[in-house]
Chain A
């Protein structure tokens, strides 16, 4: 089980950030998510694995400067 934006979500072995977003069916084009204290950016979504028990935050927009 993982927490995504405060809600419980099923976890499976080999789950990547891209898988997570697909399974969430959230169409927003996230550029960044945070897993625990680690930032993961879109170029890395496909090859970053989500660990079990992770706390995942979906960061809606990076505003910059």
Chain B
């Protein structure tokens, strides 16, 4: 007999609506405080303006919170949505869910996209989005049973703390012999005890007979989930076919889906072999271009980087089909079977590791000066099981390691941990401490922004240098690419709405390697189009990898290869086929523009969303220390002399460092000007009245907010 207990707290029987053209036109509302379950219709205007996915999340959240709401207030809402195209099993990459909430680390809106079956199952159960408000002191499991048309809230006890076991147990508990019908969203003890918690979304791996998971990692979404008292949210659905989404034109859908799917099968083996090695190929490629962060983003290259490269993980990954949604021919979600951790509660036991992906390898490996693939896999395993975001874990530990090496903190602050770069045991120990909410790990789990303030106040550390080397912006830790030599990607990170995550724009190669956009205007154009197009995936419930990680063979001969316009046209076709709304590629950009600008205004409403909030730590812009400068002296000297026409003869490194900094910081400010102009924003980074009117988001509240912030035209 299992030693866990489920007690009914609330049940709602409902009638599932007919799916129509990718939509159910209703959302599910749950309040945990005084358990309440309700179903809300989606207004036609909402559908037209916000499309679905992240758009729906933002609208629900906007209406749930006030400018004074904090992440751990009961009224903060955690929203999860698929999108109109989500759940299509024949088009690659069509199973993403988008999570949005107020973040504990940024205090504003955060969104995070994730694979797994949950979003599609939620929709097929009858709901375009889920909104959870309130808080409970009990442990609560929400069960959305689309098959039996029932929503149940259970108070539970005795369930395991960590997501690894919890996902398996809940899958079995609710599956009634059909585990593929279940998707579990849960987190772990790390999310409860830190502010950088992630959510694990499961998908069922029929061949390996286990619940696997993907992570919605960024901005502490898991910490909000844990703070609400949620143990898990489970969705149940059966039988997914191309008809389940009720496409408007099935023949057209099949035609476009077949083309994209076949192209991937044919070209992936010739290109990056993602079906075999996932995103691990990026490690050595980034390293060769000086873009792989090492030692807290000081450098972009290390001689030992190949130890973390694709050849190593090719051997470690368990071969087989690894699609995190049904029918995804990219199938890049690999894992390691029979992995034996050397530390922690699973020490000496065989476990399955979901991952690692590039970000985890760079964040928990090279950026910590750790070039051991086993340690990276172990950090990956425990971060997931404890419900911690591997990117914030990596970037956070990298920061404290540099503080330690600089003497800003010492062993009296770290509880005796020797935090020199490369110390594998210490890195793992911090992860275990985060889960337990103990020791120095508990401090690291507050995120880089809070650590900077705390180290200055309590340890007397130099706040200025920490501002330069603490790799966060808007309160979010940087994801794992070096940006020093790509002004466009500095914008890609600095101007991203939620903080420095590469899902809005990844322009490094375009800018740095290909030099495709030498002027500010060209960079600004790229920083308009790419974030808009990438936003569109989040509105529709799609994964962006099939768009530009496998590329048509003739793409290089097209006018704008980086946009992969053949695929953009396919996506317009796909959208038209499902929804019945005839759109062209430009329409996709317009859809995103409304939601994108709305999110910027949401930031403004929460007290952010201005020019000053788009600032970057200088480490992202150029060399902070003399050692960094000297390591690439030829490059920097040349730039000073040739581009900035500076007289560097006889100048010391310190003098050149100052000169370079002045120039680079000026460039970044000029980039902001160009991008704001292109996006239709004021010089302070606020969308103008004209822009919101053009985009149809000139709701009374929005106009009032702009006026209150001095924007009248």
Contacts and interface: CB of A to CB of B under 8 A. Distances in A.
Nearest to A63: B548
Contacts of B555: 60-61
B513 interface: yes
B562 A61 contact: yes
Contact of A43 (B289, B481, B502, B561): B289
A34 B273 CA distance: 10
Of listed B289, B479, B513, B555, residue having the most chain A CB within 10 A: B513
A26 B556 CA distance: 10
A32 B562 CA distance: 15
Contacts of B314: 37
A6 B270 CA distance: 9
B282 A62 contact: yes
B271 interface: yes
A60 B272 CA distance: 11
Contacts of A59: 271-272
Interface secondary structure of A, over-half rule: loop
B270 A37 contact: no
A37 B311 contact: yes
B310 interface: yes
A32 B556 CA distance: 13
A42 B556 contact: no
Q: Which of A29, A34, A39, A43 has the most CB of B within 10 A?
A: A39
Nearest to A32: B285
A49 interface: no
B509 A31 contact: yes
Given A41-B289, A42-B289, A65-B479, A57 B549 contact: no
B642 interface: no
Interface string A17-53: 0000000001011011010010101111000000000
Given A28-B557, A31-B509, A63 B549 contact: yes
A60 B548 CA distance: 10
A34 B309 CA distance: 14
B553 interface: yes
Given A31-B513, A61-B561, A39 B310 contact: yes
Nearest to B551: A60
B128 interface: no
A37 B564 CA distance: 25
B619 interface: no
Contacts of A41: 284-285, 288-289
B20 interface: no
Nearest to B516: A29
B359 interface: yes
Contact of B513 (A6, A28, A42, A63): A42
B509 A61 contact: yes
A57 B551 CA distance: 12
Interface string B282-293: 101100110000
A5 interface: yes
A26 B561 CA distance: 15
Contacts of B424: none
B247 to A, nearest CB: 28
A31 B516 CA distance: 13
Nearest to B359: A65
Interface in B344-382: 358-359
Given A39-B284, A41-B285, A65 B503 contact: yes
Interface string B505-525: 010110001100000000000
B271 A57 contact: yes
A64 to B, nearest CB: 4
Nearest to B309: A39
Contacts of B479: 65
A65 B548 CA distance: 10
A20 to B, nearest CB: 16
B289 A61 contact: no
Interface string B245-289: 000000000000000000000000011110000000110110011
Interface of A: 5-6, 26, 28-29, 31-32, 34, 37, 39, 41-44, 57, 59-65
14 contacts: A31-B285, A37-B273, A37-B311, A37-B314, A43-B289, A57-B270, A60-B555, A60-B556, A61-B551, A61-B555, A62-B282, A62-B509, A63-B506, A65-B503
Query: Top 8 nearest A-B pairs by Cβ distance?
Result: A65-B502, A41-B288, A64-B506, A63-B548, A28-B556, A60-B556, A31-B513, A65-B506
Given A43-B289, A59-B271, 5 more contacts: A32-B285, A41-B288, A60-B561, A61-B555, A65-B506
